Amino acid sequence: MAIIITVSNQKGGVGKTTTSAALATGISSRGRRVLGIDLDPQGNLGFCLGLGSSDMSTVLDTLKGKLPIQEAIIRTEHCDILPSDITLSSSGLEQGNSGRKEYLMRDALMPVMEKYDYIIIDTPPALNLLTVNAYVVSDFLIIPMASDILSLVGLSQLKETIESVQENLNSELNVLGILLTRFNRRTLLSRDVLEMAQQLAEQMRTTVFGTKIRSGVAIAEAPAHGESIFDYNPRSAAVKDYQELIDEIAERIHLKEAAYAKENK
């Protein structure tokens, strides 16, 4: 059964898609079977994973039941992906009388859950039905935030949404951690943001990842060259940070699964 990780923050520009792509390609490069799911109408995850702009089926086709998920998934050089495009922004999924709109993603994924080791979901910069669908189907949530004060704005609303999903739709959803991006430990601002992020993490019953993602030109350049960040410039400081992050994520998941097994022994 796949481990499902959603990368989410209602604020844009915090490294959400970059992190999603890094996790998908980095975990896949370690021999794991990975599916990336793009729930952002901008479709940037597909671009980061090497997809062109040609006509193709998308996640919306599966959510609306027009196409089995197996037929919409595309194989890339790095991993499999369920792509998105701008039509997702006016999907009309909120309409209708169905009381199970929050479970559309879960139901669509059921046929392929055994095929993958990890499923990585990139969400839109909004707390909408698509984001809630991702939370409902996920085991773990990673919250990236840039190392600036504005990135702290709105996290209280995000906290409320997560708690609502945990209480009403998915009691197994676990916030794996808050990830600081564009981090520069030499600046007072980054240190201040880290302190505030730690306080927020405590309120969410989680912690800030020990790994911090530094800024790096390679992160921005790699998609334009159709390469993963790990292939494009493995010596980049930011790329090394993402390798360390994958190690830390694996360790955190292992510890949480071990604690869960002990509690339910």
pLDDT digits (tens, 9 = 90+) for 1-47: 899 999 999 988 899 999 999 999 999 999 999 999 999 999 899 98
Q: What is the pLDDT of residue 97?
A: 46
Q: Which helix (H) or strand (E) holds 69?
A: helix 69-72
pTM score, two decimals? 0.94
Q: Which helix (H) or strand (E) holds 37?
A: strand 34-38
Q: What is the pLDDT of residues 55-67, one digit of tens each?
A: 789 999 999 999 9
Mean per-residue pLDDT over the chain, rounded: 91
130 three-state secondary structure: helix
The percent of residues in the chain predicted with pLDDT above 70, rounded, is 96
Q: What is the pLDDT of residue 93?
A: 77
Q: Label residue 53 by pLDDT band (50, 70, 90).
A: low
d(CA 2, CA 243): 21
Rounded mean pLDDT of 224-231? 89
Q: Label residue 95 by pLDDT band (50, 70, 90).
A: low
Token pair in block for residue 9: 């923050």
d(CA 259, CA 205): 15
Q: Label residue 154 by pLDDT band (50, 70, 90).
A: confident
Q: What is the pLDDT of residue 163?
A: 95
Q: Which of residues 53 and 109 earns the better pLDDT score? A: 109
Token pair in block for residue 44: 């940037």
Are 34 and 246 a contacting pair, CB within 8 Å? no
Q: Which amino acid is at 230?
A: F
d(CA 173, CA 19): 19
Q: What is the pLDDT of residue 247?
A: 97
Q: What is the pLDDT of residue 152?
A: 81
- In the predicted structure, residue 98 carries a pLDDT above the cut 70: no
- In the predicted structure, residue 238 carries a pLDDT above the cut 50: yes
* Nearest CA-CA partner of 142 in 260, 32, 34, 242: 242
Are 141 and 176 a contacting pair, CB within 8 Å? yes
The percent of residues in the chain predicted with pLDDT above 90, rounded, is 74
Rounded mean pLDDT of 220-235? 90
> Mean pLDDT lowest for which of 39-43, 77-81, 201-205, 259-263?
259-263
- In the predicted structure, residue 68 carries a pLDDT above the cut 50: yes
